[in-house]
Structure 1
Amino acid sequence: MSRNGQGPGRGPADGQGPVRRHDAPPQDTAILVGHFVLPRGASFSAHVHQVHQLLCTARGLLRVRTERGVWLLPPSRALWIPAEVPHTTESAGDAVMLGAYVDPASCPGIDWPEPTVVAVTPLLRALVDHLIRTDLVPEARARAEAVLLDELRPLQVASVSVTVPDDPRARAVAEALRRDPADGRSLAEWGRTAGAGARTLARLFAAETGLGFGQWRERLRMQCAMPHLAAGLPLEAVARRVGYASASSFAAAFHRVVGVTPRAYFPASARGGPGQTPAESRHAAPPR
């Protein structure tokens, strides 16, 4: 991978396919940083790396999928993806993705077996920006790499993934709620349009998603809320869009599902708005 925007493998590609291996070429550094300009909807199809990846964004919202769940990453959060873990990455809006590719031999103390969310502190952001430079002498680069690894702080943040049921009756309900998460109909009311009773739908959701219907809908609402939060919409507006009567009830549900409050996950300094962030203005380059 080069540092001018060309990443491992073929770069952004739409659609899903077989898992591809994106091996980084030999390098004389422990951490190699690349950047990728991703227009809305662009994606990297399923792939693995032979090295660890610290994935974050200078602007916009990224959606990362693995077998273990789905994570949505604003600029305030990054995801540590262990080597050999298959994943897909897509932009939930215009985004600038930053990827730090880490040689496993350089970080024996980081043995996280699963994808792990970390806080993007001002220092971590500055180090990622610093390591994208090509003019660092080896000693300076090694010092910055060591500090970056020391700065990784795991967060207890849950995935917001939801499984869509296979049964066509439950699937119809799930797809309708994905289109309009604010729809507050009960299972009995849904049953009149889905062709199944409330008990049957409840059983199908539990058996095919691993969640009760109420839990499933709540998690879906949090997933649908995240792009709005990243765009900087007021909490009250986001709450109404996903089916909550007040900002406080939405914030309580978000904390219950995700593990932190909306404002903790999307700090004001990381929420969207017009213009480029400093990191984006330095790194933006046309995709290849």
Structure 2
Amino acid sequence: MSPNGQRDGRPNGQRTPPATNTAIFVGHFTMPRGTTFITHTHPVHQLAWSARGLLRVRSEQGSWLLPPSLALWIPAGVPHTTEAAGDTVMRSPYVDPARSAQIIWTDPTVVAVGPLQRSLIDHLANLDLAAGPRTRAEAVLLDVLTPVPVTSVAVTEPRDPRARAIALALTAAPADGRPLAAWGAEVGASARTLARLFVAETGLPFGQWRERLRMQAAMPLLADGRALETVSRHTGYATASSFVAAFHRIVGLTPRQYFPAHSGDPAVENSVRRVRGRVEP
């Protein structure tokens, strides 16, 4: 059960969206920070999208932190957990698989949500919409769902108590840049042993694992509109440009592209230009 008494991923224990004769039903959920819909599945496709706030979706395929500019297409039958990473309003279209055969994604897929997609979702939320306009709007929404090259920043926590102690410490203080040799002196293992443990138990070398963890720590701060320099310092990067370069390399988008509401920040603009090679660092 979630913190606000919701079960099975649906309010009041309801397991699936109400039966309708439409291709798309739009569910509306007000989710205070920390609200969680525990692991569940749907017999229909879901487009997990927050009209406001930050939505976290986890599945066996990855973990995604989604601002209003992005949504996650979750195919029918895929187990997933949904959580409000901030005070969130989720407006989630549920799509009948029999009436959306043009979408062939079999894994969770991140898609862009711009003004057109947002307007169509709001339009389809009107249950009094006549059949003709609804059918046309449903077809347009499905037609304009466009994947974006976002990489999941999920990290696996190691099981070995020595490596796990390091993981917990870095989760609490992601800017800590100590090498494995220094951590080894603290937890009682050699750097070589710790390096082997991280690869064996997380699937990533320690450096890559830490960078992904830093990106996870950065996203809620970026979503809250924190200054880029502040986010950079909090996550262990000496400059805003070095943080933007790392974000782009790991996530697949720049912070400006991921959180377009903050694209007017001069620090973001200058750092993105450096990443693209238009300004010397």
Residue 33 in structure 1 maps to residue 26 in structure 2: yes
In the alignment, which of 203, 208, 212 is matched to residue 215 of structure 1?
208
**Could you tell me which residue of structure 1 aligns to residue 10 of structure 2?**
11
Q: Give the distance between the partners of 1:209 and 1:8, measured in 2 at CA.
A: 30
**Could you tell me which residue of structure 1 aligns to residue 191 of structure 2?**
198
3-state SS in 2 of match to 1:135 = coil
**Could you tell me which residue of structure 2 aligns to residue 69 of structure 1?**
62
Name the aligned partner's letter for residue 76 of structure 1: S
**Could you tell me which residue of structure 2 aligns to residue 252 of structure 1?**
245
Q: Matched residue pairs, number?
A: 259
For structure 1, the 5+ residue unaligned runs are 1-6, 14-19, 272-288
For structure 2, the 5+ residue unaligned runs are 1-5, 265-281
Q: Which has the higher contact order (CA 8 A, sep 6+)?
A: 1
CA contact (8 A) 1:54 1:100 kept: yes
Task: Give RMSD over aligned pairs.
Answer: 1.9
Name the aligned partner's letter for residue 111 of structure 1: I
CA contact (8 A) 1:70 1:161 kept: yes
3-state SS in 1 of match to 2:92 = strand
CA pair 162-138 structure 1, distance change in 2 beyond 3 A: same
| Superposition map of 1:1-288 within 5 A | 11=10, 22-268=15-261
**Could you tell me which residue of structure 2 aligns to residue 278 of structure 1?**
none
Q: State percent identity of aligned pairs.
A: 64
Name the aligned partner's letter for residue 10 of structure 2: G
Q: Give the distance between the partners of 1:198 and 1:210, measured in 2 at CA.
A: 17
CA pair 225-244 structure 1, distance change in 2 beyond 3 A: same
Q: What is the TM-score normalised by the length of structure 2?
A: 0.89
C-alpha deviations, 1:142-161, integer Å up to 9, x for none? Answer: 11101100110001110010
Q: Give the distance between the partners of 1:136 and 1:9, measured in 2 at CA.
A: 29
Q: Give the distance between the partners of 2:176 and 2:48, measured in 1 at CA.
A: 34
CA contact (8 A) 1:24 1:50 kept: no
Name the aligned partner's letter for residue 64 of structure 2: W
